[in-house]
Amino acid sequence: MEFRLNLPPRILLLHLTLLSVTKWSESARVFTIMNSCDQTIWPAITPGENFRGGGFKLKPGHSLVFKAPVGWSGRIWGRTGCKFNKTGTGSCETGSCGSKLKCSASGKQPASVAEFTLAALDFYDVSLVDGFNLPMKVTPVNGTGNCTVVSCVADLRRRCPAELSVKSKGKVISCRSACDVFDSDEYCCRGVYGNPTTCRPTHYSKIFKKACPTVYSYAYDDPTSIFTCSGSDYVISFCSFKKKQVLNVTR
């Protein structure tokens, strides 16, 4: 079966560039994925060979620890409202990657996404280009360099414009991107808007950026949204970060 890695162009380009010009460190990176939400979530990762096949259930207050090799380039996001049977077949209200617990493709919009390219110098970001479904934060640990903590801790479901809102049982469960809703060249940064000069922040991307200044709010939001760190491990947290929690860690 052919596998295609569906990454945004900026991350794929960084991955290919680093392949050709850097000498990589040999050590793997440790990823700790934490659920600080008040609900069960189903984290998803592509490619997922080092992450329980790409998807798993994570109860509130729990976390799981994984190792990814240098050279791994991929995406991590959270799914909500999922129901899977014993064979791992089912569906999710948000972030679904099809009908499987273990994802082999990117999730369905809208979803908050953390993106990584691991090399001698790691590149990472949190992106709302595909919309928002859960607050999330990426924290580098024991790395060298800038190693900025990147997060969208605001719950954008509460301030999502009505035209972007996705509701279930009268409650907003996610916030779509303007590109996903209106499918225009301007909002999707394509056609004559397919470069950083002509593709500029819009009314909708500014709402995301104001709430979460360090995240990608549109496709060419690179200067304030992509970060680097060397030799770091990473903690990916979902939901509330204000309360101090004792997490149940499984390796």
How confident is the prediction along the chain (251 residues), in pLDDT tens digits per residue? 323 334 444 544 444 444 433 333 457 999 999 999 999 999 999 999 999 999 999 999 999 999 999 999 999 999 999 999 999 999 999 999 999 999 998 889 999 999 999 999 999 999 999 999 999 999 999 999 999 999 999 999 999 999 999 999 999 999 999 999 999 999 999 999 999 999 999 999 999 999 999 999 999 999 899 999 999 999 999 997 554 443 444 44
Domains, the chain, ranges and CATH? Answer: 9-153+215-240 (2.60.110.10)
Give this prediction's pTM.
0.85
Please name the amino acid found at residue 125: D
